[in-house]
Amino acid sequence: MELPPERGAAPLRLTVADLLRIRRPTTGAASLSSSAASTLAVPPARKKPRHSATPNPAPSPRSTAPFAPISHRVLLAGTLSLPAAGSPLTCRSHCLSLSDPTSAAASVCCYLLDFDAAAVGREVEVLAWNYLPSVHHDGAGVLEVVDWRLAEGRAPGSGFLKTIPLDCAAGPDLATHGHVFGVVRSVSVVFSVPQAAQKSDADRGDNLVGFIAEMMCCACCQCLVTPLKTDEHHKFEVEKFVYFVDSASRWRPVLAQLVGRSISVSGLKKKKISIDKKGSYIMLVSTRKTMLAWCPFYPFDQTLDGSPGNCGGVYTGVVTGIYMQGMVVELDETVWLLIDDQQLAPSHSLRVGAVISVKNSRTISLKFAWTKIVLLGTCNKTSITINSFSLVDSKCYIKAQNKGLLGKFVDSFELHAKFWMLILISCFKQKFTKLFSEKEILGSKNAHGLVHTYSFKVLSSVGSKPQHDFFMKFCNHNCGSPCAGSNMEAFKLVIPFANFTCKAESFWILTMLKIWNGTEEMPEIDKNQGFHTFLCDGVSYTGTTKKIVSSSDMGSVLVGSIKRSSLPGTLQLVDATGCIDVIIPDLPPNVSLDGIYEINDYKVALEGPVAYLDLDDVADPLSCKAAFQQPAYQKRLHHLKIYVILFHLLKLSHIFPTNNTFQHQNMSGATLYAEAVIVPYDLKFTEQADSFRMSCTPSFSNSNVSMAKPCCIPCTLSFRTTNLCGSLVSINSYGPVGTILNDTVGGERDHISRILLEFKDGRLIKYQSLRIGGYYLLECPIESDLISLKGKVENIHSYDCKNKSMVGNEKSGICIHITDDNLMVRLCGYLSKYCYPVGLGPGATVTFHRVLLTLRRELFLTPLTYIEVCCISFAGLNKECVVTPPISDCFKDDSFNRVSPCLLFLNQKHLAENRAIQFQCRVVTIHMLILDNSLNDLQPSDSINRRETINIKVRLAGFIVDDGSSLCCCWADDVRAELLLRLQEVAVLDGPVSLKFSKDGSDVNLQQTAGCFLERMLKKHKRIIARNCGIPPDISCRDLEFSSVLNKVLSGLEEKLLKSIILNACWKGTLNVIASVLNPDTLDGFNLELPDLHPARNMPNLWVSQAFQVDPLEEARRMFGNLENN
Amino acid sequence: MGSLHLVHIKLLAADLLSLTCRHTSPPSFVRCGRTVARVEIVGVVVSRDRRDKFLRFLVDDGTGCVPCVLWLNHQYLNANRSSGASVSDPTAEMALKMSEMVNLGGLLRVRGRIVLYRGAIQITVRDVVLEKNPNVEVLHWLQCVSMAKECYDPRPPSA
């Protein structure tokens, strides 16, 4: 690169040929003074990167990097002329051409600010400019001229009219009578139409290239005389259309800049233009001798009609976003510009940051279901000009489109529907980009895609605009179509689920702020409990609350594929951006998991702790910008539970007793019933796309169904195992919707779900209003008492045993501690042992259905509670956790007394009375251990892998335990012994240090679990007996003796595993134990030879009936209470 | 029943460090006339010093800091035994694993023998349990108070 000239020297002169050698977006100026720089908007020179790999790196042509300034002064000079006939159509509508005076071959498309028609055909000096290389397919770039001047000053003479040359050899044909003088009102883009083969007196060729200018002309006598010489007042009242065709179409960039200015066009002929065979038009058409002149001194006519609904408005604003390949432009972050035709704007200069003027646009205020916007609608009379170029963005957004069926479908609608369609396309692309191919989403030239299929359903009631040829559309233009009066509420946002989650969080944050500021009403229960905390056992906790948001408030529909959740009655709607839990109280068993589903009518439930949340600075996820921009939202409030609730649509089929039966009777106290049919959720709405099924509580939203509520009857719904309280709300359905429903029900009669409704007393009047065959919605209460609860069981223990006699021995009071990652709750109540599922214990992930949430926010088991064990994980267990005692132990009706404060030696009285006592203790050593093989024909490895639990049996174990006051020997068998031995914890350990074994001096690291190895060991030995010959409470491996019932010698590895199990048990934490004095006869059945060692011989011997984890908080509270009372 | 020397008594650090030491061989410790030999404390690790054969650490329960030593020299003790017995003894490995639970800031439950080292009481650790529920510390305080009141402090019947 040559050295910059010295300060004060003349600027370096650049030719167009020099310009064309630049390969990156560049900006240059003839003056770099600060004042000039500010006016010319030249950014300061950027620092060079410190680590430049190459001296002249070639940037990516699609780079959005800002323009690189030339650090020294440059002056670009060239001849400005009309665009060449062969230039691209988009540039022919907007750009002029700048070429070197000496070599016309070196030319570049250029777009001028402060356009002056006088410059056409003359040499200009460009004082400030931006250059965008490689805009066109042939690699040519575009020059944006920010500031310029004529090289030789203005041409002499100041005539009324100044001619704009076309470079035609022929002069004006003054003899022709085709002459118009008037104000340019609008200019079409350059377009190409096929001309009829015969009767065409246009120039030549198969296609006519040209544009139409709409002019308001003066019909006074003076104007009939050419050339005009005076600027007498004219009245521009006669509308005329001039068709600049063929070479005259090159005037289009000039005329676009002259909209609102007066021009004179001579050399026109009135001709009949035949378009294909569709029609013909008679209009003024340019000829080879047409001359164009403008009146620089005639006042600018600003009488454009900008009233709403008319396309005469002017809007100037900054481009703040360009989406959907340039079809949608956001201006000033408030106004949306829908560009109907890509040629309406100079595509290369329509960049983010540019200031543009939109003339002859139509301003429409649209109120969609979810948002309101101001839309600038364009039509074929609109012209978009650039007022200021963008230096922060160099990307060209507008791309040539190869329109398939979807594109044609979009084009067939009016502005409002078209804008919604573009949002829909953007949302569908976000939602299904990972689930379907783009072709499946958008369709192709021959096949409909998902967007088309969906939108067809919504837009079926919206009429498409009439299709006319270009001449008809331009010359008989009427933008006063009644789109503003259309029912826009039916146009809902098909929301990406990430946006949905973000919006739900925003609702929640707003609610929290209102609660904190005292402007939001708290639920009654919260009022009773204080502001945002509640008391539990005298301790203040942060409360939780719930907010329900209706789908009508969201203004959006949920569309996605579904998958079953682990929760019964729960589905998950899934798209590529996220998933939403959907609660359907009675999910039909035949629900299909194929296809895509839509939910129109729903409630969003938000549940979480009451907490101060700061204002979120996330942009509105329901805004059109968010729909186009595809922001990556992430869940921010992890404590907030968000799910969607669906309601039922019922069709009443029977009423018991019938209305005429009870009308005349005193029905006080009687129970009234009705039978209803749950309308199936599946509605196949299109025959063409079998894989695309739509479902909802049938989508009335886009029909004209009235949602009036003439009656609202409280009732109880009984369905399968579900009992729900709710209100029956009638729906007046008319017209074809009812027919569709009937057909659907009839078609799937096998899957009809019938339910029984029970009505409360005193509702007879409303009850009489029910009619058979009517459709009703069952609205369940939002503040339901029965909830589902899912979490990991932390611990289970007996609870409130004083009252357990209330249900005999069939039920026992238990307290279950359930936790998620953050919080723990207690679930108390009486549970039948027959309802106690296998696997319910610490570490298990369990769902409790229909548990009672009281107004005091306590959770209770109910007779309706159904417990589902989702998974049992031992690997994730806290090492201090033990598995739960079996149900048989949990519900033993042996009474016991809690030893206070766990002092065993003070409770000899209880023991003497053969009563069970509860105390906390730790195992210090093991007296004896007998392990049995409980495998049958199962392969150990299979069983351990399948069940993740160890399949051996502890026939008997004697533990020496220490409660801090004394030692005693606790005997236990089966799972109780497993708990004290912590066998399940050890069993799942994978390759613990205890299993490293060396036979020949090298370590062998076992790949199997300890439990698996133990199973194999017991399969081999059938029974293994371990005895401790040491003196309690110390434990040493040297004192442990092992024997096999088959008299086989245990290997070193086997001994090591057994020792590690025993050591592990002796080094663990505290457990709760319920035990009673050992009946001496109990051990006789084991036929054991017990080690008779002092001091174990003198210890109390107890039989363990239960063992479970200690809840430190609960124990501490109880102990504190005891200390206070004593 | 009056003897407490076989059980791990639950003590606060202040009470442990103020036990009466009888200079027998080995030294014995007395609380309210009862001989105590083993103790259980709960507190936070505030110091950790890992050596080749042992790990020394300090447990702070809010009333004082108790020096603890966890021996890691089992392999040396087993060196004189037969190779088969040594190989099948997991004590050393498990003690090593136990030592890895002792980290600064961790809440531990420590059991062990009370010993005198250079004139100061310390615990020769038998086992440590890493407690993850902070409520165990409060529970331990209450248990210490309760046990002292009902068990440790009353004079033994023979006294």
The tens digit of pLDDT for each residue in A66-103 reads 788 888 889 888 888 888 777 777 777 888 888 887 77
- Tell me what ipTM this predicted complex has: 0.95
The stretch A896-923 carries a mean pLDDT of: 64
Cα separation, A210 vs A245, whole angstroms: 4
CB contact under 8 A, B127 and A1067: yes
CB contact under 8 A, A905 and B151: yes
Residue A882: name the closest of A987, A984, A992, A973 by CA.
A984
With bands split at pLDDT 50, 70 and 90, how would you rate the model's confidence at A410?
A: confident
For residue A51 the two structure tokens come to 């680590």
Listed range (A217-226, A906-915, B142-151) with the worst mean pLDDT: A906-915
B156 pLDDT exceeds 60?
no
Listed range (A3-12, A424-433, A949-958, A1050-1059) with the worst mean pLDDT: A3-12
pLDDT value, residue A998 = 41
CB contact under 8 A, B131 and A1069: yes
Using a CB-CB distance cutoff of 8 angstroms, which residues of chain B are in contact with residue A1036? 91
The stretch B142-158 carries a mean pLDDT of: 81
With bands split at pLDDT 50, 70 and 90, how would you rate the model's confidence at A1095?
A: low
Q: Does B79 touch chain A (CB under 8 A)?
A: no
The Cα of B33 is separated from the nearest Cα of chain A by a number of Å equal to: 15
CB contact under 8 A, B38 and A1033: yes
The stretch A148-173 carries a mean pLDDT of: 64
pLDDT value, residue A740 = 29
The Cα of A1069 is separated from the nearest Cα of chain B by a number of Å equal to: 6
Cα separation, A786 vs A850, whole angstroms: 5
Using a CB-CB distance cutoff of 8 angstroms, which residues of chain B are in contact with residue A1063? 90-91, 94
Nearest CB among B85, B139, B149 relative to A1112 is that of: B139
Torsion angle in degrees (nearest 10) through CA of A896, A902, A908, A914: 20
Residue recorded with tokens 């009812």: A738
A1022 pLDDT exceeds 50?
yes
Nearest CB among A903, A967, A994 relative to B93 is that of: A994
pLDDT value, residue A308 = 53
Which range, A125-139, A750-764, A778-792, is most confident?
Answer: A125-139
Considering only residues B100 and A788, tell me which one the structure prediction assigns the higher pLDDT: B100
Listed range (A245-259, A402-416, B61-75) with the worst mean pLDDT: A402-416
pLDDT value, residue A650 = 63
A477 pLDDT exceeds 60?
yes
The stretch A466-472 carries a mean pLDDT of: 69
**What percentage of chain A has pLDDT greater than the value 70?**
59
Which of the residues B82, B151, B152, B153 would you substitute to probe the A interface, choosing the one with the greatest number of A C-beta atoms within 10 Å?
B151
CB contact under 8 A, B91 and A922: no
CA atoms within 13 A on the CB side of B132: 7
The Cα of B23 is separated from the nearest Cα of chain A by a number of Å equal to: 23
Considering only residues B92 and A695, tell me which one the structure prediction assigns the higher pLDDT: B92
B125 pLDDT exceeds 90?
yes
pLDDT value, residue A895 = 39
User: Across A514-671, where does the E strand assignment appear?
Assistant: 533-536, 539-542, 544-550, 556-564, 570-575, 578-583, 596-599, 603-609, 641-645, 648-656
CB contact under 8 A, A1056 and B8: no
The stretch A997-1020 carries a mean pLDDT of: 64
A452 pLDDT exceeds 80?
yes
Cα separation, A1069 vs A987, whole angstroms: 18
Using a CB-CB distance cutoff of 8 angstroms, which residues of chain A are in contact with residue B129? 880, 1067-1069
pLDDT value, residue A937 = 41
Other beta carbons less than 10 A from residue A327's beta carbon: 22
With bands split at pLDDT 50, 70 and 90, how would you rate the model's confidence at A802?
A: very low
Q: Which residue of A has its CA nearest to B153?
A: A965
Cα separation, A761 vs A667, whole angstroms: 8
Other beta carbons less than 10 A from residue B126's beta carbon: 22
pLDDT value, residue A175 = 47
B152 pLDDT exceeds 90?
no
The Cα of A1043 is separated from the nearest Cα of chain B by a number of Å equal to: 15
Considering only residues A442 and A282, tell me which one the structure prediction assigns the higher pLDDT: A442
A819 pLDDT exceeds 70?
yes
Cα separation, A861 vs A866, whole angstroms: 9
Which range, A131-135, A495-499, A848-852, A986-990, is most confident?
Answer: A495-499
Listed range (A253-267, A539-553, A703-717, B72-86) with the worst mean pLDDT: A703-717
Question: What domains can you pick out in chain B, each with its CATH number?
Answer: 4-152 (2.40.50.140)
Considering only residues A582 and A165, tell me which one the structure prediction assigns the higher pLDDT: A582
Using a CB-CB distance cutoff of 8 angstroms, which residues of chain B are in contact with residue A1031? none
Which of the residues B87, B130, B153 would you substitute to probe the A interface, choosing the one with the greatest number of A C-beta atoms within 10 Å?
B87
pLDDT value, residue A232 = 62
Q: Does B113 touch chain A (CB under 8 A)?
A: no
For residue range A591-636, what is the model confidence (pLDDT) as tens digits? 666 677 778 777 787 877 777 776 656 778 888 888 888 777 777 7
Listed range (A200-204, A296-300, A986-990) with the worst mean pLDDT: A200-204
Which of the residues A925, A993, A1036 would you substitute to probe the B interface, choosing the one with the greatest number of B C-beta atoms within 10 Å?
A993
Considering only residues A694 and A713, tell me which one the structure prediction assigns the higher pLDDT: A713
With bands split at pLDDT 50, 70 and 90, how would you rate the model's confidence at B113?
A: very high
Listed range (A181-185, A494-498, A566-570, B113-117) with the worst mean pLDDT: A566-570
SS3 label, residue A99: strand
Listed range (A186-195, A687-696, A899-908) with the worst mean pLDDT: A687-696
The Cα of B59 is separated from the nearest Cα of chain A by a number of Å equal to: 17
pLDDT value, residue B39 = 96
Q: Does B38 touch chain A (CB under 8 A)?
A: yes
The count of CB pairs under 8 A between chains A and B is 125
CB contact under 8 A, A966 and B127: no
CB contact under 8 A, A880 and B132: yes
pLDDT value, residue A942 = 39
Listed range (A24-38, A44-58, A119-133, A1098-1112) with the worst mean pLDDT: A44-58
Nearest CB among A905, A1034, A1060 relative to B90 is that of: A1060
pLDDT value, residue A159 = 62
Residue A693: name the closest of A824, A591, A583 by CA.
A591
pLDDT value, residue A398 = 64
DSSP A729-756: EEEB--THHHHHHHHHHHHTGGG-EEEE
pLDDT value, residue A1097 = 66
Asked if residue A1123 lies in contact with residue A991, where contact means CB atoms within 8 angstroms, the answer is no
For residue range A298-353, what is the model confidence (pLDDT) as tens digits? 666 555 554 555 677 788 999 999 988 888 999 998 899 988 777 787 878 888 88
Using a CB-CB distance cutoff of 8 angstroms, which residues of chain B are in contact with residue A994? 90, 93-94
The Cα of A1124 is separated from the nearest Cα of chain B by a number of Å equal to: 11
The Cα of A972 is separated from the nearest Cα of chain B by a number of Å equal to: 21
* A54: CB partners within 8 A, 6+ apart: none
DSSP A1051-1096: PHHHHHHHHHHHHHHHT---EEEEEEEPPTTGGGGGT------TTG
